[in-house]
A and B are shown apart, each in its own frame.
Chain A
Amino acid sequence: MDNATSEPEANEPGVLPQGSSWGQGSLSQATAHAQALLSDVSFPLETVDAEKARETQRHALHQITDYVQPRLQNEQAPVLVVVGGSTGSGKSTLINSLLSERVTLPGALRPTTRNPVLVHNPRDAQWFDSLRILPTLAREVGTRGKDLTGAIPAALSAPSARAGDAADALASNTLPSNTLPTTPVPPVSPDLPDAPASPSSPVANRGTQELRVVPSDSVPSGLALIDSPDVDSMVDSNRQLAQQLLAAADLWLFVTTAARYADAVPWDTLRSAVARDTEVAIVIDRVDPGAMDVVTDLRSMLDAHGLHESPLFVIEEQELQDGLIPAPATAHIAQWLTWLMVAPGERDRVVAGTRNGAVESLARTIEELAVHVETQLRAQKTLVDIADGAYAHAYESVRAATSDGTLLRGEVLRRWQDYVGTGELMRGVEEKIAALRDRVSAYVRGKSAAPKVQQAVGDTLYAVVKDACDRAAEETYRGWFAHPAGKSFAANTSLATSSGNLHDLLSQEIRGWQAGILELISETGAEKRTKARALAFGTNGLGVALMIVAFASTGGLTGVEAGIAGGTGIAAQKLLESVFGEDAVRKLARDAQADLERRMLAVIEQEKLRYVRPLEVLGLSQEQGTALRRSARQLHAGVASLVQSPRKASTRADSDELPESRFQDRDKVSQAAKWFGGAGDAYLASQDSVESYAGAILYGTAGIGSPASASPLSNTTQAANGSRSNSESAEEPGRASRAPTWWKKLFGGQRQDNEQ
């Protein structure tokens, strides 16, 4: 890849080419490279951290396809605000209330939101009618509040059947008209390895997880809201989807409640947001009036977790009106979002901040995965080592048994003695007669003793190798069973013993060896003058003698063994030497033994392969780890260069194009009348300047409240905020003095607007 060629530069940020070559384009390339690497990596071994590694990998891939790539390629794409949080915290209600429109389905039963809903301005439709973002989710377009009401009873009455219903509906009617299999291929069409989705058939494999895309005029253009499932849902797939959506967000609107704000699970999620520098705004819902301690407590918790800059919006517990929170209570959120969209540089700051944070965290994740890859490699090595050790031991024991003469005791010895008679064949005349007699009697009985020796040698050899293999298999299995990564392999109980075809393989090799020896004898016998003598003993007889010599030739036999096995060996050797001569016998024995070792090694290696091959085909390699680390360095360098250059670009844009404008985009401002049911517009109209919107805690008004009753609340907050950091308290006076004006303007005139 061309990334590989630019890799040395990535290592040295100092010599990076300026601006153009290290802009978003090359970062996008680096990300694509990282994506390719990540999809190749697998964590097949069940090490203790494997599950986590797979999760991390899946997450990283989702983050790339759902967020990083689309964002890098289209900086101007709408800001994606994901409304996430605990189950029952009122996310759907909040969205509906913000938009004054029922776009999603809230409910008392948990978990409520099963399929996420994306709401966007109709002007932004071009950004969402493709699979540009969240390509793993099927799309369902255009279902509005009205259509939804029909679905409510079904959803409430049969929650469990809903998934199936949805799938059916999808298959029958919805699919051809509303989903998007025929939309233009999105700019990025990466194949996810773990989610079997491909751009050509986006719906086919998605199961029932889908994203409903709803256009609404109430949403500011350049902004999209997603109603996400609960982060602590009982349903695993919902939980995962929530994490996936949050990872795809430019901005989190994190909703919690007075009863839940100290729950551990949402805080884990928030911590991950802090870790990747995602912009977060917190909404605390269902705050009982008079329970304002909660808010200050939450504020201090947020500060303690490094979320100093995140605004905290408070919504009091109140009666819903027609299923919606009364508009004044959510107006501050609407205002803030509006302000984000129109204030110069604000939107870009949020987008760039989250993007840079995401790429940074992606780089860190990739580094983490590199560590996991190494863990996998270590586990693989451990498992292979266990098998290697066991089978090396097996081979060693076979080799020892076949060379030190221990094999010659027992049956082989007995058969050999039967064959040669007394075992002191060469010692005197008497023995010669005995040998003669044996052979005469063998002739008379019509059977030769030589094949019996051969048979005994074969059987013994078989038993020894089989036992060694069984032992090694058992040892390997035991070792693997005790190892977490090996335990999943150990579920295959056939690995506890040697393989079923060991018998065939081993018998074949032994026969092959014996046949080879007989061939060797007849060759050597034929080319020598010794042919006559060789014939006198017969090929079989010389063959078994050679087998025996091969078994005993390198053995350092001592004591009693030498007396027995050695005697046997010496007898055989003398017999052979008398036929072939000393040198030839030495060579023959060497050849026979080498052949035996080769064949036994082949058998044992074959047995070992049963364990080693499944590990080898896993495709784990050191390369992957190195490549991942390299890719992570590239990403780090890319972000580092981005952090410097776009800042210049954006200040230039501000100063050149809109030098004295209050708002970034005139066009947008003219639209704002419709935004959030008018809340945003009212805000804009009230503002002389949108330089800052720095508020640490922001209150809406209770449904019952008038501005007068609300101000004591904000006063207590001011007091609570007084002890906070300097930079923020510096802004307090301005806000405090301004507050009555916009409270009045906003909430005084607001309700009439809505009613008209």
Chain B
Amino acid sequence: MSVRTYENRETKRRNADVKMRIEALHEALDHGKGWLSEEVVSRSEQQLAIARGRLRQSLDHTVVALAGPTGAGKSSLLNALAGRQVSKVSVRRPTTSQTMAVVWDSSVEGRGHASKLLDWLGVAERNYVTEEAPNSPNTEGKRSVLNALAQTRSGTAGGDAGAKRRDSDVPKAVSSPKKHKDLLNSGLIVVDLPDFDSVVSQHRVRADHLTARADVLVWVTDPQKYADAIFHHEYLRKFKSHTDMLVVLNQVDRLSAKEKEQCLSDIRRLLVKDGISGATVLATSTTTGEGLSELRSLLEIASARRAAQGNSLIAQLRDCGRLIAEECGSVPSRTDSDQPKAQLVESLAQAAGVNAIVDAVYDSSLRRSHIATGWPLTSWVARLRKDPLRNLGLASRWLPQVTKSRAPQTPLSDEVIIPTSRSSRAGADAATLARTSQAVRAYVDAATHGAPIAWKLEVQRDLKEIDLSDELDSVVANSPSIRLSRPRWWGVVGVLHKVFLALLIAGLVWLAVLAIASYLRLDVSNTPQWMGFPIPTLLTLGGLSAGIVLGLVSRIVSIVYARRISSRVYSQLQSGVEELAHRTVVLPVREVREKREACLLAALVAGR
């Protein structure tokens, strides 16, 4: 009982495993459909359909497919297993064109399930082994039972010299009830497939259909055909990940004992060459009954464990998963380096002319500041030069003079800006366009380095539609950071300049009055003095020198100020560009890469 429970638990676990793999494969396909190769996708989809279909059918039944080349003796083997002639045996090739199933299940309910399962498989002809089978096994233990079974009617199974032929008077036998019952209720279904190598090509189609859906594959071959290219290249290798395979060398009665051993070891060698490790090799003969008991008990065990159903599905799903994983390329390194992104932002900023704007802001700020804080007698010259920002078409972002005392965050300037306005600087000019796409291309190249080509091309195609140059332009043109404010110290310096200018003018006027007075010989000798110097002279010289010094000092301060302003503008533009790059390039690329990773992970799960 406990064994039963354990087996149930095992079965549940296995079915859960199958379901998980189905989910994983489905997910992998979902993520990878755009770029996975067509054959892999179609094979996986087909396999998914098969797995889902099989899961919906009875898992208490184990479908064993007897597959093999024409004339290997599949039908004779089935007859021997069934204990009576269920399948037509003939010397003509190819023989079996209709598939035929033998079901070991005594319960009515079980047979109903089996019937549905066979419907799904597309096997029309069914035979139910009943207890009243005419040739029931005898009591002498399994081996002799099967020997007897094997001898039943096998004389017609083409392929024996007349001398070895036995009569069909098989000893009547009674089974040991328990064993017999076990097999009867085992839920074993053996299907005899058409050949896959004859001139009748429909047989091959049928055989392919069923080998893809069977739970246990029994490859039946014979001493003549065991090394056929088609058998190894197109069949065995296709199923190399199956664990529950059996390779049966039938008709060994044609070989001497030594030859048999040689053949068997040669088959094992070929199987290793095919990459198959999990197959059991068995020598049988329906004529002498050799090996049939082993075959039968192997099948019995397989059906009793109820493991083959899951295992074959797992093997096939695993194959698909591995194929997909192979096409996904290696696991991408998680060192998501910032290097390509930094380069992208840098290149985009350059394409957008951020440096030029920053230069212009610097120049503009310096000019403005020069006008405001330079020595009034010379600073007017600066007005003659055009504002560099105006050259870029960004002059409207210059705060009007009336707002000089307001905070930089004043909304007024925003009202001036037409948000969609395009700076005259760029437009969709060819150079920006070219540089932008260069930057994006370089980024995609770096981000997809080492990935499969098909996927790379897919990513490139996805990103091709993005036209960054427009957005880039609007990011730069509408950046609020380019608004320049009038700092307070400009006003102070301006006032000081006016005071110094006034002093200078007062001094000059005073001196002029004194000069005129002395010209007119008026007595101006008692000019007020301060520390021995005449005050008008002091006023003139003081006003002049203070103005010049203040001009020079404020020039230095202006430079520092302009630098600060421009670096602020730079960082703000840069972050704007970065935000744009992130949104339009980095994120989509990451998204598709994550999709690939998800595909790969799912495929790895399915192919584990």
Q: Is residue A719 within 8 Å, beta carbon to beta carbon, of the partner chain?
A: no
* Closest CB in chain A relative to B288 CB, distance in Å: 16
CB contacts (< 8 Å) of B431 on chain A: these are: 407, 409-412, 459-460, 463-464
Contacts of B438 in A (CB 8 A): 463, 466-467, 470
Please indicate the chain B residues that have their CB under 8 angstroms from the CB of A464 in the complex. 430-431, 434
Convert B349-387 into 0s and 1s, putting 1 for each residue whose CB lies closer than 8 angstroms to a CB of A. 000010010000000000000000000000000001110
Contacts of B437 in A (CB 8 A): 467, 470-471
Report the separation of the CA atoms of residues A233 and B231 in the bound assembly, to the nearest whole angstrom.
Answer: 11
Nearest chain A residue, comparing its CB with the CB of B273:
A234
B197 interfacial contact with A, CB 8 Å: yes
Is A423 in contact with chain B by the CB < 8 A criterion? yes
Q: Are A421 and B386 in contact (CB under 8 A)?
A: yes
A residues 400-425 touching B (CB-CB < 8 Å):
401, 406-414, 417-418, 421-423
Q: Which of A108-116, A596-604, A610-618 contacts B (4 or more CB under 8 A)?
A: A108-116
Extra A-B contacts (9), CB below 8 Å, given A265-B197, A410-B430, A417-B391? A156-B262, A257-B224, A262-B92, A264-B201, A289-B162, A409-B432, A410-B427, A478-B460, A561-B427
Whole-angstrom distance between the alpha carbons of A239 and B161 in the complex? 31
Look across to chain B and name the residue whose beta carbon is closest to the beta carbon of A412. Answer: B431
Query: What residues on B are CB-neighbors of A422 within 8 Å?
Result: 386
- The CB with the most chain A CB atoms within 10 A, among B91, B197, B232, is that of B91
Contacts of A493 in B (CB 8 A): 453
- B227 contacts partner chain A, Cβ-Cβ < 8 Å: yes
- Report A443-485 CB contacts with B as 1/0, cut-off 8 Å: 0000000000000000110011011101100100110010000
B524 at the interface (CB under 8 A from A): no
A411 and B356: CB pair below 8 A? Answer: yes
- 25 intermolecular pairs with C-beta atoms under 8 Å apart: A87-B225, A88-B223, A108-B263, A234-B227, A258-B158, A259-B71, A259-B222, A259-B225, A262-B94, A262-B198, A264-B198, A288-B91, A288-B160, A297-B93, A401-B434, A408-B429, A409-B425, A414-B425, A421-B386, A460-B431, A466-B438, A467-B433, A467-B438, A470-B441, A490-B453
Partner of B161, one of A89, A289, A417, A477: A289
Within 8 A of B (CB), among A473-503: 474, 477-478, 481, 490, 493, 496-497
Answer whether residue B125 sits at the interface, using C-beta atoms and an 8 A cutoff: no
The number of chain B residues with a CB under 8 A from chain A is 65
Interface residue B567 (Cβ < 8 Å from any Cβ of A): no
**In whole angstroms, what is the CA distance A501 to B259 when docked?**
67
The 8 Å CB contact of A414, one of B198, B270, B356, is: B356
B228 and A264 form a contact (CB under 8 A)? no
Kindly provide the distance from the CB of A454 to the nearest chain B CB, expressed in whole angstroms: 15
Which residues on the B side are within 8 Å of A490 (C-beta)? 453
| CB < 8 Å neighbour of B460 from A258, A401, A474 | A474
- Set A233, A478, A560: member contacting B229, Cβ < 8 A: A233
B161 touches A288 (CB 8 A): yes
Q: Does A227 contact B (CB under 8 A)?
A: no
Instruction: Report yes or no: A89 in contact with B227, Cβ–Cβ below 8 A.
Output: no
Q: A289-B162, A291-B158, A463-B431 are in contact. Are A414 and B392 (CB under 8 A)?
A: yes
- Per-position contact with A for B71-109: 1 when CB-CB < 8 Å, else 0? 110000000000000000011111000000000000000
Proximity string of chain A (289-319) to chain B, C-beta cutoff 8 Å, 1 when within and 0 when not? 1110110010001000000000000000111
Q: How far is the CA of A257 from the CA of B224 in the complex (A)?
A: 9
Asked whether B391 lies within 8 Å of A259 as measured between CB atoms, the reply is no
Q: Given contacts A317-B161, A463-B438, are A406 and B429 in contact (CB under 8 A)?
A: yes
Q: Does B187 contact A (CB under 8 A)?
A: no
Docked pose: A267 CA to B433 CA in angstroms: 64
Cβ-closest chain A residue relative to B461: A478
Q: Are B429 and A407 in contact (CB under 8 A)?
A: yes
CB contact list, A262-289 vs B, under 8 A:
262-265, 267, 286, 288-289
Cβ of B445 under 8 Å from chain A: yes
The answer to the question of A140 belonging to the interface, with a C-beta cut-off of 8 Å to chain B, is no
Chain A, 598-641, contact with B by CB distance < 8 Å: what is the 0/1 string?
Answer: 00000000000000000000000000000000000000000000
Note all chain B residues with C-beta closer than 8 A to A478. Answer: 457, 460-461
Q: Are A110 and B266 in contact (CB under 8 A)?
A: yes
Verify if A232 is at the interface (C-beta below 8 Å from B).
Answer: yes
- Which has the most chain A C-beta neighbours within 10 Å: B201, B431, B460? B431
How many whole Å from A163's CB to the nearest CB in chain B? 15
Which residues of B in the span 216-237 have a Cβ within 8 Å of any Cβ on A? 222-230, 232-233
Distance (whole angstroms) from the CB of A307 to the closest CB of chain B: 14
Instruction: Return the contact of B227 from the options A110, A286, A401, A496 (Cβ within 8 A).
Output: A110
Q: Does A234 lie within 8 Å of B229, measured CB to CB? A: yes
Residues of B near A496 (CB, < 8 A) are 453, 456
Among the interface residues A108, A232, A233, A418, which one has the most CB atoms of the partner chain B within 10 A? Answer: A108
**Contact present for B429 and A409 (CB under 8 Å):** yes
CA distance A736 to B467 in the complex (A): 91
Assess whether B93 is in contact with A261, with CB atoms less than 8 Å apart: yes
Chain B hits for A87, CB < 8 A: 224-225, 227-228
Bound together, the chains give a CA A261 to CA B270 distance in angstroms of 24
> B188: CB under 8 A from chain A?
no
**Among the listed A108, A289, A408, A470, which residue makes an inter-chain contact with B262, where contact means beta carbons less than 8 Å apart?**
A108
Q: Which residue of A lies closest to B357 (CB)?
A: A414
Residues of B within 8 A of A574 (CB): none
Contact A89 B460 (CB under 8 A): no
Q: A88-B224, A467-B434 are in contact. Are A297 and B356 (CB under 8 A)?
A: no
Known A234-B229, A406-B428; contact A467-B91, beta-carbon cutoff 8 A: no
Q: Assess whether A262 is in contact with B158, with CB atoms less than 8 Å apart.
A: no
* Interface members, chain A 38-69 (any B CB < 8 Å): none
* Residue contact B434 to A468, C-beta cutoff 8 Å: yes
Verify if B184 is at the interface (C-beta below 8 Å from A): no
Tell whether A291 pairs with B385 under 8 Å between CB atoms, given A110-B227, A232-B229, A412-B431.
no
**Also in contact, A288 and B159, with CB within 8 A (given A109-B263, A263-B197, A463-B435):** yes
A437 at the interface (CB under 8 A from B): yes
Q: Is A434 an interface residue (CB 8 A)?
A: yes
Please report the C-alpha to C-alpha distance between residue A108 and residue B267 in the assembled complex, in whole angstroms: 12
Is B301 positioned at the interface, with any CB of A under 8 Å from its CB? no
B433 — which chain A residues lie within 8 A by C-beta? 467
Please give me the 5 A-B residue pairs with the lowest Cβ-Cβ distance, nearest first: A110-B227, A262-B93, A409-B429, A467-B434, A401-B430
Assembly CA distance A728 to B69 (angstroms): 34
Of A411, A481, A493, chain B has the most CB atoms within 10 Å of the CB of: A411
> Among the listed B71, B226, B384, B461, which residue makes an inter-chain contact with A110, where contact means beta carbons less than 8 Å apart?
B226
The complex places the Cα of A414 from the Cα of B92 at a distance, in Å, of 91
Cβ–Cβ contact A232 & B230, under 8 A: yes
Distance in angstroms between the alpha carbons of A463 and B437 in the assembled complex:
10
Closest-by-CB residue of A relative to B71 is: A259
Complex Cα distance, B433 from A265, in Å, reads 61
Q: Is A166 an interface residue (CB 8 A)?
A: no
A411 close to B353 (CB less than 8 A): yes
In contact, A409 and B427 (Cβ under 8 angstroms): yes
Q: How far is the CB of B445 from chain A (nearest CB, A)?
A: 7
Interface check A674, CB cutoff 8 A: no
Q: How far is the CB of A105 from chain B (nearest CB, A)?
A: 15
Q: Is A108 within 8 A of B255, CB to CB?
A: yes
Within 8 A of B (CB), among A121-146: none
C-alpha gap A467/B440 in the complex (Å)? 11
A747 CB to nearest B CB, Å: 20
A260 within 8 A of B: yes
Nearest residue (CB) in A for B360 is A414
Chain A residues with CB below 8 A from B197, complex form: 263-265
Q: Which residues of B contact A561 (CB under 8 A)?
A: 427
CB within 8 Å of A: which B544-572 residues: none
Chain B residues, Cβ within 8 Å of A32: none
Distance between B448 CB and nearest chain A CB, rounded to angstroms: 10
Bound: A258/B262 CA distance, A: 23
Interface members, chain B 133-181 (any A CB < 8 Å): 158-162
Among B227, B259, B426, max chain A CB count under 10 A is at B227
B91 adjacent to A262 (CB under 8 Å): no
Of B94, B198, B434, B453, chain A has the most CB atoms within 10 Å of the CB of: B434
